[in-house]
Amino acid sequence: MKKHLSKRNVLVLLILFTFLAAWNRGINLLYMMWALLGATLVLAYLLPRHALRGLKASRSVQSVAFEGDVVDLRIRLNNKGWTSRHMVEVVDALPFAAPEAREALSFVGDLPGRSQRSFDLKVECWKRGRFRVGPLRVQSAYPLGIFTVNRNMPNEETEILVYPKVFEVANLPILSASHLRHSGVEALSKVGGGDVFFGTREYRRGDSLKHIHWPSTARHGRLITKEFETRGSTEMTIILDLHRGANVGKEKESTFEYAIKIAASIAKYALARGHRIQLIAYGQKISHIPSASGLSHFAEILEALAELQSDGHLDYPAAMTEAANRIEDGTTALLFFSGHRIDKDAYFQALDLFQAKQVRPMGIFLDRASFLNHSWDENRDATVLADRLLSQGFVPHWIRKGQDLSAQFI
Amino acid sequence: MKTIHYKPVYIATYFLLLFATFAVVTLDQSFLRSVLSFIFWSTFLGLALMGGWQYRLSKSKTLSVTSNLFLFLGLLLLIMEIRSISLDRALVGFLVWIQAARCFTLSTRRELYFSYGMSVVLFIYAASASEESGFLIQIFCYVLSGIFVLLTDHVDQKLSIAQGGDRDKLLAGGHLPVKGWNVTFSIVALAILLYFLVPKPVPAGIEAFPSGGAWYYSNTDWDEEENKESDDGSGNDENTSGEFPVPDDKKSDDGPKPEPDFLDESQYGGFQRKFDINQPGESCFLNDIVFTVRSAFPFYARGKVFSTFDGRVWEDGLKEKEDLFPDENRFDLTRTAWDLTSLKVIELGQTYRIKALLPPLLFAAYRPETLWFSAKQIKIDAHDSVYSPAALRKGTIYSAFSKMQLVDGHPSGGKVPLPDPAPYLQLPDLLSSEIKKLGETLTEGISDPFAQAKQIEVRLKADYQYTLDTVLEDPDQNTLDRFLFETKRGHCEYFASAMVVLLRTLGIPARLVTGYVADDYSPITGYYEVRRLDAHAWVEAYFPNYGWVAFEPTPGSDLPLPKHNTLGFTALTKYIGDRIKTAIETNRNAWWAGILQSISDGFQRTQTFLSEVVAFLKSLASRFWQWFKDEGLEHFLRVLGFLLIVYLVYEVFVRFFYTRFRWWQIRAWREKDPKRFVCLCYLEMERVFQKKGCRRPSAFTPREYEALLSGQFQAAAEEVRTLTDCFQQARYGAHLPEHATLEAVSSAYDRIRRWAYAP
């Protein structure tokens, strides 16, 4: 009903009514009113068309930003016509902005003929992702707002990559999986860290000849090689759950968006301390950023995290199992449990596999109930998993919707 | 609810509401009251909307209470007024109060739209009720403020969602981003064009007819009138002077001052019982409107009929009047059945609005069948003249429904019997023999009575001159003789009386009719405006086959035809022309009369010139059409046939022979020079698509052209690709095209050719 009750429809109805009334009674004053209203309608239809003639608009915007940043859009309007253009609207489609600001409208009251105007538009990057900005369109409903005419500006579509928001992780002990692990010593990434002698064994094809323990070889008459223990692996693997069902909540307040933020922040924290990070996620396609360290790698991780979508069908235990093949023994895995379809056996099996590879699971438990705004306890099964991790000596992190994430990692 | 942000919205709303309110509250009000109303409402609405602006910011309780207080006041007024004035007026007054009261808390767009809706209702009511041309100015003001409202509302809407540009500047400054004059001018100019050039259909009149009311005429009025008539002391209802009854205080010099709304000397003499044709009254020179009438076409509003003539004074000759009683204000005037002849019956509804005191006659077009009039009783005489109980007061509204037939362009009341024709054949005692002879002379050789009447009408119009000067001249006894044989000039009463007498000398029953000519259509109000100077006398002659038929012997006057004027422009030019003419005639001595006359002459000349141009074009078109019907059609068909044959030959040749011939030519190269064959096929393909509107741009490579064609002509994409591939090979490759390639080229080109020339 509201849709049909537009100014245009009301005016058309009024015109019809005045005409019918004038015709029925032959009242000339009503005919005059009809003529005035009709003229208004005709000009309201024609003038916006004229208002857009010779108008060009362009926009420039930075190509990369972080979620929460305010970006400046510079909009230029050029009137190539000889006469002034009034009440010109410039509308830009900004999918990275908050829902209410995604159709950003700028209103220019008067643009004289043969002139140019520029102005800035400040927009907050509300959401991470890779976005196509635009189309940029100029529109006008001059002068009465009854008919709106709009025209898209060609070649005014650009891309912006919005990285996920990164919060400050104050402290997150990334423990070694070596023999020192129970002592609670944090692993450090140092050159030559893997030189602790562990024992000897028979030579296997492919072993380096420089590790052959020649005295034992001579003693046994066959090749015996030395074995070294890795000293506190400094690699962390982030395994994200991209299953559609795992993502609950809306827009930014969803489990997946929280997971992305946490992953990005922990990655930054770890890389800042010289650790190596790899990222594995099974969505529609497999996203795998191999292990590496350094600032450029952080950019790579951020870019990948910016673009990830929860569009997969692979259950998280299966994803963990798949990912296990790509994880070095003795490293740390950052796991996200969103409470979706908790098959304890499958999870335990995956965790067993991790244990077998001496991979340390760091569990982030996303409180599904809070994201669904449910009051009942939906996290019972997840609690079992948390208990399992706890029993292995790893403290799980519980994340609720609206929680201050940086406070969680002090 | 969306709040209003933009200050000019309030200013625009102020003007809109003010004009709507003003239009309603000043309906039928005097100038002074209108001015006072304007001052009151402009102040009140201004304060209310200022309050609304404050309320938007503060949500003040005081303003909310004030608004409710005025709403309550409006309700009280409604209850009080509903007893004293009509329901619709009371409701409209209530709406005015409501909208004004709500302005104190007007802060959201929804409330704003409510106000706009209310103002539209009020204004349409005012427009439908007003009959003043001046209301047009109010319409302009209202619609223009409506445009202002739409403009500011649009800006407000945009500013409420805008994030950049001039948003802050406009909100802070509160000014309009455009100069609205060009928009206003464009709208007004276009509206005037639409108004004058768009034809207006004949009014449907659904639920629009009849109208009546404003004054009620009780039987006491009858009695008072009769008492006035018999106040001459004789007790006889015949007034010896033959004048309409006037109170004693009017007649006596030393009595009290007359009532301001009583009949005076300015009334037309032809509505009295006795009518001296030398003294029609001052009304011939008075330009004020006596009544307006709404009808589908112009007509003669018949008032009184006279049958007895003594050479100078007419008398109605009737003493008997029949009483008529209503059925809910509806009077049936049909005393004799409508005798249908072969002539078409034309129906006409009329609604009269009396603007000045008029004699107790109910004017109506030929022949009134039904009358809607607020009275307990009316009277009708044998001449179908209808009488009201008292003089028609200003503000009286009544409707009449008439039926007429046109006898050779002359209105008639239909075929009715005439049992006693003697009163209509009576001649003045002192009638000269020249007049008797004149009738015979004018109709010499014509035996048909109707043709004789027409002949007299035509001759009087042609041989005599109309003037109002004779009204002021000192009359003598031999008025008609002097008019017919000496001066040959006079006013309408001379012409009508002369024709009646001439008809009677020929033995044709005839009578003189007085009334008003309602042909002055105001294109602004849509009413026919009838002025005092439109009082007129004309002739009715009786023919057994047709009944009483109207004739118009006065030069410059034509019997109005039932033709609806659809174009406002034509009506406007006529209206302006008539107004100028009247102004000049009634103010001959004024200093501006000469200037106006020059303007009028210039206007007339332009109009004549344009009419001649139009007439010339019409005659040209007519001659062309005649030629076309006689000879042109044959030539046209011949040329058309020839062109058709040429076209068919061309189509057959191009589609069938030429393409095949060309293909045969190209195929000849297949064995001789395969490379050339492939290139020719490619060029032919280019030619085909060029014809289809897709010429290969000079900078395009074959591949780019292929992409272009594939995009536009998907049906031929495969063939285009094949031809392009083979062309590239043949043109730039080192080897001669293989047999398979040539086959592929042949078939691809053939398919393109067939596809392109498919019917």
Sign of CA dihedral A378, A381, A387, A388: negative
Cβ–Cβ below 8 Å for B206 and A24: yes
Looking at per-residue confidence, does B321 or A223 come out higher?
Answer: A223
Q: Categorize the per-residue pLDDT at B435 as very low, low, confident or very high, splitting at 50, 70 and 90.
A: confident
- Mutate which of A9, A27, A43, A116 to test chain B, going by most B C-beta atoms within 10 A? A27
The answer for A233, left when phi > 0, alpha when psi is -120 to 50, beta otherwise, is: beta
- Quote the minimal CA–CA distance from A103 to chain B in Å: 10
Nearest to A110 among B143, B178, B192 (CB): B178
CA B268 from centre of chain: 29
Q: Categorize the per-residue pLDDT at B40 as very low, low, confident or very high, splitting at 50, 70 and 90.
A: very high
Mean of per-residue pLDDT scores for chain A: 85
Is A150 an interface residue toward B (CB < 8 Å)?
A: no
The last residue of one of the domains, among A142, A163, A184, is: A163
Written in H, E and C, the secondary structure of B563-597 is CCCCCHHHHHHHHHHHHHHHHHHHCCCCCHHHHHH
Measured between alpha carbons, how far is residue B375 from residues A223, B221, B271, B502 in Å?
138, 10, 21, 40
Let me know whether A133 and A245 are in one domain.
no
**CA–CA separation, B674 and B390 (whole Å):** 112
Let me know whether A367 and A246 are in one domain.
yes
Res B175 pLDDT > 70: yes
Let me know whether A217 and A278 are in one domain.
no
For residue A30, the chain B residues in CB contact (below 8 A) are: 124, 127-128
The domain spanning residue A92 has which CATH number?
Answer: 2.60.40.10
Cβ–Cβ below 8 Å for A21 and B128: yes
Is A106 an interface residue toward B (CB < 8 Å)?
A: yes
Is A94 an interface residue toward B (CB < 8 Å)?
A: no
Three-class SS of residue A148? coil
Cβ–Cβ below 8 Å for A32 and B130: no
Mean of per-residue pLDDT scores for chain B: 82
- Which residues 110-129 on chain A approach chain B with CB closer than 8 angstroms? 110, 119-123
Is A2 an interface residue toward B (CB < 8 Å)?
A: no
Does A255 map to a domain? yes
Measured between alpha carbons, how far is residue B194 from residues A20, A38, B187, B576 in Å?
16, 8, 10, 19
Cβ–Cβ below 8 Å for A25 and B203: yes
What CATH class is the domain B266-584? Answer: alpha beta
For residue A24, the chain B residues in CB contact (below 8 A) are: 203-208
Cβ–Cβ below 8 Å for B158 and A89: yes
- pLDDT in the model for residue B252: 36
Looking at per-residue confidence, does B659 or A19 come out higher?
Answer: A19
Looking at per-residue confidence, does B338 or B354 come out higher?
Answer: B354
Let me know whether A81 and A129 are in one domain.
yes
φ/ψ of residue A287, rounded to 5: -105, 120
Is A175 an interface residue toward B (CB < 8 Å)?
A: no
The structural domain count of chain A equals 4
ipTM of the complex: 0.72
Is B139 an interface residue toward A (CB < 8 Å)?
A: yes
* A107-140 per-position pLDDT tens digit: 998 899 999 999 898 999 998 999 988 889 999 9
* A259-305 per-position pLDDT tens digit: 999 999 999 999 888 888 999 999 988 999 999 888 889 999 999 99
Let me know whether A258 and A302 are in one domain.
yes
Let me know whether A362 and A242 are in one domain.
yes
Q: Categorize the per-residue pLDDT at B253 as very low, low, confident or very high, splitting at 50, 70 and 90.
A: very low
Question: Crossing angle of helices B674-691/B702-712, nearest 10°?
Answer: 40
Cβ–Cβ below 8 Å for A105 and B169: no
Peptide bond into B555 cis (omega under 30): no
Q: Categorize the per-residue pLDDT at B41 as very low, low, confident or very high, splitting at 50, 70 and 90.
A: very high
Tokens of B726: 């083979």
Does A394 map to a domain? yes
Let me know whether A150 and A30 are in one domain.
no
**CA–CA separation, B429 and B44 (whole Å):** 73
**CA–CA separation, B561 and B574 (whole Å):** 16
- pLDDT in the model for residue B51: 92
- pLDDT in the model for residue B330: 85
For residue A144, the chain B residues in CB contact (below 8 A) are: 147, 150-151, 154
Q: What is the domain extent for residue A214? A: 204-229
Is A87 an interface residue toward B (CB < 8 Å)?
A: yes
Let me know whether A223 and A290 are in one domain.
no
Does A172 map to a domain? no
Let me know whether A275 and A369 are in one domain.
yes
- Which residues 473-502 on chain B approach chain A with CB closer than 8 angstroms? none
- pLDDT in the model for residue A260: 94
Measured between alpha carbons, how far is residue B29 from residues A273, B23, B40, B260 in Å?
91, 10, 15, 18
Let me know whether A219 and A292 are in one domain.
no
Let me know whether A260 and A356 are in one domain.
yes
Is B419 an interface residue toward A (CB < 8 Å)?
A: no
* B81-139 per-position pLDDT tens digit: 777 777 777 888 888 998 899 999 999 988 898 898 889 888 888 877 776 767 878 88
Cβ–Cβ below 8 Å for A39 and B190: yes
Is A101 an interface residue toward B (CB < 8 Å)?
A: yes
* B256-274 per-position pLDDT tens digit: 333 334 455 567 888 888 8
- pLDDT in the model for residue A182: 40
Listed in order, the ranges of chain B carrying CATH 3.10.620.30 are 266-584
Which candidate, A140, A138, A148, places its Cα nearest to that of A56? Answer: A138
What radius of gyration do chain B's Cα atoms show?
40
- pLDDT in the model for residue B232: 43
Nearest to A145 among B139, B154, B169 (CB): B154
Res A242 pLDDT > 50: yes
Locate the chain B residue with the closest alpha carbon to A141: B154
Let me know whether A296 and A333 are in one domain.
yes
